[in-house]
Amino acid sequence: MSDSKVEFVDLRVRYGRREALKGVTFDVRHHEILGIIGPAQSGKTTLLKTINRTIENVPGAVVAGTVRVDGEDVRQARDLFGLRRKIGMVAPLPVGLPLSIFDNVAFAPRMAGIRDRHDLERRVESCLRQAALWDEVKDRLSSLGTKLSGGQQQRLTIARALSHDPEVLCLDEFSIAIDPVTTMRIEDVLRELRSKMTIILVTNLVQQARRLADRTAFLFNGELAEIDATEVIFSDRPASRKTYEYVNGIFG
């Protein structure tokens, strides 16, 4: 087994003529929280989509280079849906599926073939607890997920991402639609989850990366400007001048 959970090797992605990623190479270690920061259009979301190959559903996207999860090239994966279940993915805007709260969280286990009611109930409760949502919704699990507030829906999305026991949890600007208090609660949750899984945290809030991440990568314009321990990135002398300017709000 390699030391890296996820590896990107010379990863390039084009959307038609526009290059979103221009040859990115780095790795994500087991049980770390890796923060990925960078201005808009720097390819952060694209990067996440290559891990579970949902990039293939984007019209016009062309991928070159290699992404490995547990040392295995994702494009060689024999069971694509098994691969996707290994990766938990949380989108920037909360998406409650138009199903009940229970069914939202039970969706992935059900699609994987789990039918046993007790098993499903146990999973739903544990995921909702981990996402810090259980106490608010335990009495109305049969009401619609889409009727929850934005912050609650985002935690529902996280619960759903946890429902298939992922080994890697990718969060794409999860706090964009929720209030600071809820954000702090989820950040606490992430710190706890680190013992169980590897977390990739894409964020526009550089301070969030500073609070949570063990290491931080700075993506700029489709290229990896720098990756290092978070203390180094946020110190006075990161390797790249651009990094310093970005985290200190001088540009971007």
Partner 1 sequence: MFQATRLSRRKRYSEVVAQTIFLAMTLMMVLPLVFIVAYLFYEAWPILSWEFLSTVPKHGMRAGGIWSPLLGTLYLVVISLAVATPIGVLAAVFLNEYARETWFTRIINLAVVNLAGVPSIVHALFGLGAFVLFAHLGKSILAASLTLAIMTLPVIIASTKEALASVPMAFREACWNVGATRWQTIWHVVLPNSISGILTGVILQVSRAAGETAPIMFTGAVFYKAIPEGKLFAYGLFDQCMALSMHLFTISTQVPDLPKALPYGTAVVLLGVVLIVNAMAIVLRVHLRSRKKW
Place of tokens 């995921």: 127
Cβ at position 209, least distance to partner 1 in Å: 22
* Nearer to partner 1 among residue 89 and residue 206 (C-beta): 89
Shortest distance (Å) from residue 148 CB to partner 1 = 11
> CB 144 → partner 1: shortest distance, Å?
5
The CA-based angle 56-57-58, given to 5 degrees, is: 90
DSSP string of 182-221? HHHHHHHHHHHHTTTSEEEEE-S-HHHHHHH-SEEEEEET
When the beta carbons of 60 and 180 are compared against partner 1, the nearer one is 60
Q: How far is the CB of 89 from partner 1 (least distance, A)?
A: 4
Nearer to partner 1, 161 or 209 (CB): 161
Complex with partner 1: residue 112 or 250, whichever CB lies closer: 112
Closest CA to 53 of 43, 63, 44: 63
Token pair 């544990």 in the structure block, residue: 126
**Burial (CB count <10 Å: 0-12, 13-18, 19+), residue 53:** middle
The residue among 74 and 227 lying less far from partner 1, judged by its C-beta, is 74
Shortest CA distance to 100 belongs to which of 110, 90, 113?
110
| Smallest separation (angstroms) from partner 1 to the CB of 188 | 24
Binding site for partner 1 (CB under 8 A): 52, 54, 57, 59, 81-85, 87-89, 91, 93, 95-99, 107-108, 111-112, 144, 146, 157, 160-161, 163-164
